[in-house]
Structure 1
Amino acid sequence: MRARMAIAISGQQVEFREVLLKDKPPSMIELSSKGTVPVLLLKSGQVIDESLDVIDWALNLSDPDNWLRSNKSEKSLELIHTNDNEFKHHLDRYKYSKRYDNEDPLIHREKCLIFIDKLEKQLSSSQFLYDDEISALDISILPFIRQFRIADMNWFDSLQKPNIQDWLMKFLESKLFKSIMMKYDKWEEGDEKIFFPN
């Protein structure tokens, strides 16, 4: 999702293939043995298989709204690191607790709240996480906060955390978010090419 947002805002267009992670096409595994999305194959033959790297690739080609300005801040990079490591660790064990043995989802939910509280405080002084405009910091963290809410929407929406709730809803109701969340049919070998954004 965050890679899609960066590609869309940068004005790049890529050939798009929707895959199911439980039924990965061999051509995807040949490009990246990690077996996770996204996987971006450049014309040069270079493969980019980390979403943060796709963001950097797209925005370094064209960054019309200066989203990359947040990457100059060590604090921003630390937040992204915490999000992608500690927060994601606990989010997985909260939202997908059945995949893990002897894990109490509510304990992991409480651990997630430590990071949520940090973001709530950060948003008390600006509309977005870096300043008053969207930046790469926001889109890097957004998908994970969205998943945290999806795990129990009623509970999340009942929290006394208006800053993070308002921040999330700004994105969920935005034209950009709605445009990148279009549904695509699963890609099969031999299918006609489709492009994103289309």
Structure 2
Amino acid sequence: MTEAPILYSFRRCPYAMRARLAVAVSGVSVELREILLRDKAAAFLETSPSGTVPCLKDGAEVIDESLDVMLWALHHNDPESWLAMPEAGFALIEEADGPFKRALDRTKYHTRYADADPEESRAEAMQFLNNLEDQLGEGWLFGDKPSLADMAILPFVRQFAFIDKTRFDAEAGPNLADWLARFLESDAFANIMPKLPVWQAGDAPTVFCGHIEKSGC
């Protein structure tokens, strides 16, 4: 019997969230292992070149970048056509992963950066998000259905918004606010967020294929 791919994850990490979103929508069955970032399991460190989540092990193949995990899952199965987006979607993900994430980190974790001005960083992050306002007029970034770009970016929008949710709600345009609210209220988000015990070697597998099953999907 072929062993299921193993996905090392951490519930609250936005990179891990977006990987789980894509695995969930694809329906591909993986063994989900919840990692404690301050005390990483030896098996995880032996697998992940970077020591960061998510990390997917599929036989001899190791995928150590969250966007690559998303693409791995969707290339197996893409029932909601998340990959059916223009090339501009990848450019938008790159901008979100680069300048926007940099500004997010320097807002949320400004004490870690000697050169960080949290107000300037916040303004930079909001500029990126408010630039999406008109593009979200049909509900999603590229029309009336979610795409890879939406699901790759929204976990980071969530992280930024909850730095100061009241302020975010006051500053966000209506399309932006609605986009995030629909994501947070969606079954897709609920299905990837159950709390799991930290994985330890010898534990029975936790199978994940759009929802959590101890015995299998």
Once superposed, what is the RMSD of the aligned Cα atoms?
Answer: 1.1
- 1:19 to 2:32 alignment: no
- 1:59 to 2:74 alignment: yes
- 1:41 to 2:54 alignment: no
Instruction: Evaluate the alpha carbon distance shift between residue 115 and residue 191 of structure 1 in structure 2; reply closer, same or farther with a 3 A threshold.
Output: same
- When the two structures are aligned, how many residues end up with a matched partner? 194
- 1:134 to 2:152 alignment: no
1:160: how far off?
A: 4.6
The one-letter amino acid of 1:69's match is: A
Instruction: Tell me if structure 1 keeps the 8 A contact 2:31–2:205.
Output: yes
- Pick aligned residue for 2:175 from 143, 158, 163: 163
The equivalent residue for 1:3 is: 19
The equivalent residue for 2:161 is: 149
The one-letter amino acid of 1:81's match is: E
- Structure number having the greater strand percentage: 2
Distance 1:130 1:19 in 2: 34
The equivalent residue for 1:77 is: 90
Runs of 4+ in 1 over 4 A off after TM superposition: none
Instruction: Evaluate the alpha carbon distance shift between residue 22 and residue 11 of structure 1 in structure 2; reply closer, same or farther with a 3 A threshold.
Output: same
- 1:88 to 2:104 alignment: no
Instruction: Tell me if structure 1 keeps the 8 A contact 2:49–2:64.
Output: no
Instruction: Evaluate the alpha carbon distance shift between residue 63 and residue 18 of structure 1 in structure 2; reply closer, same or farther with a 3 A threshold.
Output: same
The one-letter amino acid of 1:54's match is: V
Distance 1:14 1:160 in 2: 36
Instruction: Tell me if structure 2 keeps the 8 A contact 1:21–1:35.
Output: no
1:37: how far off?
A: 0.5
1:134-168 CA distance string (max 9 Å, x none): 11110011111001101100100112511110001
1:187: how far off?
A: 1.0
Distance 1:52 1:119 in 2: 20
Distance 2:55 2:199 in 1: 14
1:98: how far off?
A: 2.1
1:16-75 CA distance string (max 9 Å, x none): 1101212111211211231110000002x10011111111111111111111111xx221
Query: Structure 1: which 5+ residue stretches go unaligned?
Result: none
Q: What is the percentage of aligned positions where both structures have the same residue?
A: 46
Bigger relative contact order, structure 1 or 2 (CA pairs below 8 A, ≥6 apart): 1
TM-score, length of structure 2 as denominator length: 0.86
Query: Structure 2: which 5+ residue stretches go unaligned?
Result: 1-16, 213-217
TM-score, length of structure 1 as denominator length: 0.94
The one-letter amino acid of 1:118's match is: N
The one-letter amino acid of 1:51's match is: S
Instruction: Evaluate the alpha carbon distance shift between residue 169 and residue 134 of structure 1 in structure 2; reply closer, same or farther with a 3 A threshold.
Output: same
**DSSP 3-state at the match of 1:21:** coil
